[in-house]
Amino acid sequence: MNIEWEKIKKNRRVFRLVNDRNMLVEILNYGGIITKILVPDQNGKRENVVLGYKNYRDYEVNPHFLGALIGRVAGRIKNSCFELDGKRYRLEKNDGCHHLHSGSNGFHHVLWEANPFESPGEIGLELSYLSRDGENGYPGNVKVLVIYKLNNDNQLVIEYRATADQKTPIALTNHSYFNLTGNLKEPVHNHVVQMNCSRFAELDHELIPTGKILETQGTLFDFAAGRKLGEGIMAGSGQNKIVGNGYDHYFIFNSNEQGKVTVKDEASGRVLTIRTNQPGMVMYTSNNLDEGLELAEGKSRKYLGVCFETQASPASLHHAGFPTALLNAGESYQKWTAFQFTVESK
């Protein structure tokens, strides 16, 4: 296993983690951004399976959060405000009148302190940051540590740790767009997704949770037995239409079960298995991805990737029944998500 790094601009560096099976993960200390993941297909051909820009400088804007570390709070906060212990906190309006992914200066634009490491059976990168009280409108000083670990099972694990000196919302995630066809050959319509989620959050026309949690059974949101993403993308009605035809919804993992998602691309044979101790995730099929962005393997277009944003729900700040996004002072936030890549031959 090997770790390399390269200076790309001032204090900005790119770190490349390579295991003994030649899987590569490329990460920036700017925004904690995963820019590239190279894994083999069923014929042993190594290709990129995430969306990334052709030029590193484009991550300085990154309006679609490609590969980014999101925090303090991932997702949309209704009306850009919340109340906590009788006090109202007002946040930046960066998505209409709502607050998305912690605003224009969220963790995706932070220059993190980076420390690569190697330990028995794995290599990795630690990113640390102190988010000050009042930063982007949030209360409390929050110490954050995010650890990326790569092992020889072709598994990338992301660990999220945080402590705060005041009660504060926190919901960290990674916003990578996956495309298992390799080098963006095709959109993700034929990706088959299976997940242990029997409930999801209903959205209004501004993509804000209504407060209702719906059952997936008998709908295009039922992935218990596996379903092609194209079914929801092509539906053209209901909750799929509201988000721009596709998915951009929070799914709640079944209680007393570890979160698990399996993604398969039959043509390449690639399989992505996601496991997590997070309570749920947003699955987003890039319905609103701009066309024509200069990506590493070509121009961007809608449905070119799918995100699995494992996290708590910011809707819990306004509605009961959602997985809480609050961290109490002195408590320890410890979450992890593992992404394992394998192949299945035809």
**Active site positions, annotated:** 175, 309
Q: Strand runs (DSSP E) across 137-269, as ranges?
A: 142-151, 155-164, 168-169, 173-174, 177-178, 192-195, 197-203, 209-215, 227-228, 248-253, 259-264
Q: Which amino acid makes up residue 37?
A: I
Q: Is 153 annotated as a binding residue?
A: no
Q: What is the DSSP letter of 165?
A: S
What's the distance, CA 102 to chain centroid?
14
Compute the CA torsion angle 280, 286, 290, 295 (nearest 10 deg). Answer: 100
- Angstrom distances, CA of residue 68 to CA of 18, 42, 122, 182, 262: 20, 28, 22, 20, 21
Sheet with strand 209-215: strands edge to edge: 177-178, 306-311, 280-284, 248-253, 197-203, 209-215
Q: Is 176 annotated as a binding residue?
A: yes
Q: Which amino acid makes up residue 10?
A: K
Euclidean distance between CA atoms 41 and 227, whole angstroms: 21
- Angstrom distances, CA of residue 278 to CA of 107, 174, 176, 220, 309: 19, 12, 16, 23, 10
Q: Is 237 annotated as a binding residue?
A: no
Q: Is 80 annotated as a binding residue?
A: no
- Residues belonging to the binding site for beta-D-galactose are 175-177, 248
